[in-house]
Structure 1
Amino acid sequence: MEIQTILENMKYVILIGDGMADYPIPELGEKTPLQVANKPNMDHVAEEGANGLLKTIPDGMEPGSDVANMAIMGYNPKKYYTGRGPLEAASIGIELKKDDVAFRCNLITVHDGRIIDFNANHISTKESSKLIKTLNEHFNIGKFYTGVSYRNLYIYPDREALKVKTRPPHDIIGEPIEDHLPSNGETAEKIKQIIKESHKILKDHPTNIERSKKGKRPANMIWLWGQGQKPTMKTLREKYGLKGATITGVDLIKGLGVYLGLDNVNVPGATGYLDTDYKAKGEHAIKALQDHDIIFIHVEAPDEAGHARNIKEKIKAIENIDSKILGPLLDELPSYDSFRLTLLTDHPTPIKVGTHTPDPVPYAIYGENIEKDNIRSYDEESAKRGRLGLSVAWKLLDKLTGS
Structure 2
Amino acid sequence: MKYVLILGDGMSDYPIEQLNNKTPLQCAKKPNIDFLAQNAEVGMVKTVPEGLPPGSDVANLSVMGYNPLMYYTGRSPLEAVSMGIKLSATDVTLRCNLVTLSHEGEYKNKVMVDYSSDEISSEEAKILIEEINTHFKTDKISFYPGISYRHCMVWDWGFTNLNLTPPHDILDKKIGNYLPENKMILDMMVKSYDILKDHPVNKKRISKGLKPANSIWLWGEGKKPNLPKFYDMYKIQGSVVSAVDLIKGIGILAGLNIVEVEGATGNIHTNFKGKALAALEQLESGRDFVYLHIEAPDECGHRYEIENKVRAIELIDEEVVGTILNGLQKYHDYKILILPDHPTPLSLRTHTSEPVPYLLYQKSKSKKSGLTGYDEVQAASTNNYIDEGYKLMKYFILNDKSENVTNFVYE
Q: Deviations over 1:94-123 (max 9, x none)?
A: 111121111000000111312111110100
Matches within 5 A, 1:56-67: 56-67=47-58
Find the counterpart in structure 1 of residue 23 from structure 2: 32
Find the counterpart in structure 2 of residue 281 from structure 1: 275
What code does the residue aligned with 1:388 have? N
Q: Of 374, 377, 381, which aligns to 2:373?
A: 377
Aligned partners of 1:244 and 1:263 also within 8 Å: yes
Find the counterpart in structure 1 of residue 121 from structure 2: 124
Aligned partners of 1:50 and 1:387 also within 8 Å: no
Aligned partners of 1:69 and 1:253 also within 8 Å: yes
Find the counterpart in structure 2 of residue 163 from structure 1: 161
Q: Of 319, 340, 345, which aligns to 2:340?
A: 345
- CA positional deviation for 1:36: 1.1
Find the counterpart in structure 2 of residue 154 from structure 1: 153
- CA positional deviation for 1:387: 5.2
Aligned partners of 2:386 and 2:392 also within 8 Å: no
Aligned partners of 2:137 and 2:143 also within 8 Å: no
Find the counterpart in structure 2 of residue 139 from structure 1: 136
Q: Of 288, 291, 305, which aligns to 2:300?
A: 305
Find the counterpart in structure 1 of residue 357 from structure 2: 362
What code does the residue aligned with 1:393 have? G
- Report the number of matched residues: 389
Matched residues in 2 for 1:62 and 1:303: separation?
A: 16
Q: SS state of the match for residue 130, structure 2?
A: helix
Instruction: Summarize the Cα distance change of 1:334–1:388 in structure 2 as closer, same or farther, 3 Å threshold.
Output: farther
Structure 2 residue 62 is matched with structure 1 residue 71: yes
- CA positional deviation for 1:373: 2.4
TM normalised by structure 1 equals: 0.94
Matched residues in 2 for 1:148 and 1:154: separation?
A: 14
TM normalised by structure 2 equals: 0.92
Matched residues in 2 for 1:91 and 1:114: separation?
A: 31
Q: Which runs of 5+ in 2 are unaligned?
A: 105-109, 400-411
Matched residues in 2 for 1:24 and 1:377: separation?
A: 16
What code does the residue aligned with 2:178 have? H
Q: SS state of the match for residue 270, structure 2?
A: coil
Q: Of 173, 187, 192, which aligns to 2:186?
A: 192
Matched residues in 1 for 2:154 and 2:317: separation?
A: 38
- CA positional deviation for 1:401: 2.1
- CA positional deviation for 1:391: 3.6
Return 325-334 or 72-81, whichever deviates more. Answer: 325-334
Matches within 5 A, 1:2-401: 10-111=1-102, 112=104, 113-141=110-138, 142-159=141-158, 161-183=159-181, 188-290=182-284, 291-367=286-362, 368-369=364-365, 371-386=367-382, 388-401=384-397
Q: Identical aligned pairs, as a percentage?
A: 44
- CA positional deviation for 1:174: 2.3
Q: SS state of the match for residue 295, structure 1?
A: strand
Find the counterpart in structure 1 of residue 404 from structure 2: none
What code does the residue aligned with 1:373 have? S
Instruction: Summarize the Cα distance change of 1:388–1:333 in structure 2 as closer, same or farther, 3 Å threshold.
Output: farther
Q: Which runs of 5+ in 1 are unaligned?
A: 1-9
Matched residues in 1 for 2:161 and 2:10: separation?
A: 29
